Chain A
Amino acid sequence: MEQVKAQSQKRRKFWNEERKEAFSGYLYISPFFILFAVFGLFPILFSFYLGFHKWNGLGEMEYVGLQNFKWILTDPIFWKSLSNTLIMWVLGTLPQILVGIVLAYALNSAIIKMKGLFRVSIFMPYVTSTVAVAIVFGVMFNSQEFGLMNVILGWFGMDPMSWSTSEWGVKVAISAMVFWRWVGYNTIIYLAGLQGIPKELYEASVIDGASVRQKIQFITIPMLRPIIILTVFTSTIGALQLFTEPLIYIGRSYREEGITVVLYLYREAFANLAFGPASATAIILFIIIIVLSSINVFITNRIGR
């Protein structure tokens, strides 16, 4: 009888050793979750809620069902912003990955001296302020004849472009910013991946008489596959959320040649005070990112097979 009582008490005692351990563990990681709940989770949920309401930021919210989504999906400017974003994604991301791999390969080879310096300098653009980058590029891509890029075009006997208003000029300029900023970041990631490839493979290929191109094609790329998948993912999500560069570059005119989905969202919310449609745009963007990421999985799984 006594024994049974003691046992049941033990069982009923909530704070046993294991529980205590677990609880202190949770406490240790709680700061992140608390901050995330306040500054991450709540805004996300609130945005979902707002997507079905009409709200100008000050007055009463009014439930409008799917009206906001209808507005967005029938707005030609939204589709324009989506196609712009996708074009800039391709223009910015593909060259980044190709150039990144080549650069990483070069930095990893034995020929190059002063590796540390190169590695640091190639990573520099990533830590530069985006706004500063956009302003400097804005000066370089000046539409006048004396703008740096137009002068360079002139050397090749081409006509000056209007970089701030023409359909492709704007996109190329913004993609150039994205490329410049992220290529170093991806290079460093590839470099880390390259360090993990066993030397024996290369040695064996040299004995078999492989050229540099064959080495890259048959050893480097297949071995780097998981890393490439990672960078494609991060670049995709980053490119779809492109915002600062176009905002600074085309300014608050929100010209449709350079408006991206997030810029469109921003204009809806803070220029037009239509927070409902803006939230609806965010939800649509979320869905698009999921879809594109799935397509990415599908494609990158085929690389290097």
Chain B
Amino acid sequence: MKKWWMLLITLGLIMVLAACSDDDTNGDSSSDEGNTGNEEKASGGDDQVELTFWVFGSAGYDVLAEEYMQENPNIKININEGEMEDVHNNLFTSISAGSGAPDISMVEVSNVAKFMEASDRFYNLYEYGAEEIKGKYLDWKWQQAESVDGSFQLGLPTDIGPTTMFYRTDVMEEAGLPTDPEELAAQIDSWDAYYEAAKTIKDKTGKPISDSPELMFNAIRDQQESQYFNEDDELIMEDTVKEAYDFTTKMIEEGLIGQNALWTPEWGSAMEEGSYATLIGAPAWMIANVKGNAPESSGKWSLTTIPEGAGNWGGSFLTIPAESEHPQEAYDFIEWLVSPEIQLKSFHNNGLFPSAPEVYEDEEFLATTDEYFSGAETARIFAEAAESVQPVYMGVNYSIANAEIVTALTNVAVEGADPQKEWDAAIERIESQLERQ
């Protein structure tokens, strides 16, 4: 008889364990999902509301969440931090399965369209008061997370990535070009001028103007009003980004651009070596990357306006999946988190560039300079860039198209392949992937 009991208990345990691990999509077993309240009573004695919050990147939201919990003792926020790709994959899996989604998740702009397709799995933030705060944010940024017909708001805007041109002052000096941000921007005021500067740099120093074909392409791509797809999700690359591709491949073939792939160790170490002149199309969040990769190069970097108007690269939104049982509390928290004054804090703590233009009028903000970047007025340059960004429709298949173009560019840069052939092959690969969905 005893044996039976042991067996039953064992079985029961297994069931419980299986159920637990089911709940836990983020591999973080310390989070107590589903046990809202009842566990710890707040000092006020009212039931605590627990919110799970998935973030990626070094947003510094943990510190801000602490602050919010101090002000609102009835709210407890559990933050799960992961890699950007992983967070998106986990979010996708959990809303697809219908269980395990958090109360709040950060979604990066290139993934917004994918989740917009499943807008029924998210709360429409217009129903929670997003209408009132809409005016506080840049139009183009707000629109990125709004449905095409304007009736649904998927997320509230966090940071943005208006693009600028980072450059090495030592290389510019060696090439006889100006090192002062304003003078350099005046000299390189168009892509033609950029091309001329590249030839000068090559002659005088033997160095390429940029080490990354992808960055060069992105810089011009992000200035276009439409990129890979139009609003009906038809592929329109031939008329939009072909120009950027042609310009980049011409530069590659003339030896003006190196062949480092983004995010590789060699790409990182080149920042320290100063083996090229400009990190073109760099957004505000790139500052942390440069400082991390090139700790010894303080004062050798500076930044200025990018020729022919800024684009936007990256930035995120905060969304509330429909599974959340506390949408109002979640909304109140994210509204606070993206409010202009808190965004200003994020900027000072983690370099996340604010998407609320009223911050740009803040004297203290505008006076922000960066010793590392030779004392350049970073905030002012990014703010100017932010104002000139055009709204872009990215489309749900953005990353498919982009990955194939990167492959084509790499083949041209590393293997010396023929640009037109590679372009055609990339289009073919993209189309064959699109027809399967």
A58 to B7, Cβ gap below 8 A? Answer: no
Shortest distance between the CB of A242 and any CB in chain B (Å) = 20
Assess A255 versus B436: contact at CB under 8 Å? Given A58-B95, A58-B96, A165-B414: no
- Per the bound structure, the CA–CA distance linking A165 and B407 in Å amounts to 9
B399 to A162, Cβ gap below 8 A? Answer: no
Q: Which residues of B contact A191 (CB under 8 A)?
A: none
Q: Which B residues, 8 to 51, have Cβ-Cβ distances below 8 Å to chain A?
A: 10-11, 14, 18
Flag whether A270 is at the interface (Cβ < 8 A). Answer: yes
Stretch among B162-170, B261-269, B328-336 lining the A interface: B261-269
- Interface 0/1 of A254-291, CB less than 8 Å to B: 11100000000000101111101100000000000000
Flag whether B3 is at the interface (Cβ < 8 A). Answer: yes
B7 to A254, Cβ gap below 8 A? Answer: no
Stretch among A83-91, A139-147, A179-187 lining the B interface: A139-147
B85 to A38, Cβ gap below 8 A? Answer: no
Shortest 8 CB-CB contacts between residues of A and residues of B: A58-B118, A274-B436, A165-B414, A57-B96, A31-B14, A27-B7, A144-B266, A277-B436
Flag whether A166 is at the interface (Cβ < 8 A). Answer: yes
- Mostly, the B contact residues are helix
Assess A57 versus B436: contact at CB under 8 Å? Given A165-B414, A271-B400: no
B437 to A274, Cβ gap below 8 A? Answer: yes
13 residue pairs of the A-B complex, CB under 8 angstroms, read A24-B4, A31-B11, A57-B96, A58-B95, A162-B414, A165-B410, A166-B414, A252-B85, A255-B407, A271-B399, A271-B400, A272-B437, A274-B433
A139 to B410, Cβ gap below 8 A? Answer: no
- Per the bound structure, the CA–CA distance linking A54 and B18 in Å amounts to 30
- Interface 0/1 of A16-49, CB less than 8 Å to B: 0000000010011011001100100000000000
Shortest distance between the CB of A285 and any CB in chain B (Å) = 17
Q: Which residues of B contact A166 (CB under 8 A)?
A: 414-415
What is A's interface to B at a CB cutoff of 8 Å?
Answer: 24, 27-28, 30-31, 34-35, 38, 54, 56-59, 68, 71, 75, 77, 138-139, 142-144, 162, 164-166, 251-256, 268, 270-274, 276-277
- Per the bound structure, the CA–CA distance linking A277 and B433 in Å amounts to 10
B10 to A31, Cβ gap below 8 A? Answer: yes
A271 to B403, Cβ gap below 8 A? Answer: yes
Shortest distance between the CB of A179 and any CB in chain B (Å) = 23
Closest to A31 in B: B14
- Per the bound structure, the CA–CA distance linking A31 and B11 in Å amounts to 7
Closest to A57 in B: B96
Q: Which B residues, 354 to 385, have Cβ-Cβ distances below 8 Å to chain A?
A: none
Shortest distance between the CB of B117 and any CB in chain A (Å) = 6
- Per the bound structure, the CA–CA distance linking A268 and B400 in Å amounts to 10
Shortest distance between the CB of B41 and any CB in chain A (Å) = 36
Closest to B397 in A: A272
Given contacts A31-B14, A142-B265, A274-B436, 9 further A-B contacts (CB under 8 A): A31-B11, A58-B121, A75-B432, A144-B266, A165-B411, A166-B415, A253-B407, A271-B403, A277-B436
B411 to A252, Cβ gap below 8 A? Answer: no
- Per the bound structure, the CA–CA distance linking A164 and B265 in Å amounts to 12
Closest to B114 in A: A273
Q: Which residues of A contact B437 (CB under 8 A)?
A: 54, 56, 272-274
Flag whether B89 is at the interface (Cβ < 8 A). Answer: yes
Q: Which residues of A contact B4 (CB under 8 A)?
A: 24
Shortest distance between the CB of A102 and any CB in chain B (Å) = 34
Shortest distance between the CB of B105 and any CB in chain A (Å) = 15
A270 to B89, Cβ gap below 8 A? Answer: yes
- Per the bound structure, the CA–CA distance linking A165 and B399 in Å amounts to 20
Closest to A162 in B: B414
Q: Which residues of B contact A165 (CB under 8 A)?
A: 410-411, 414-415
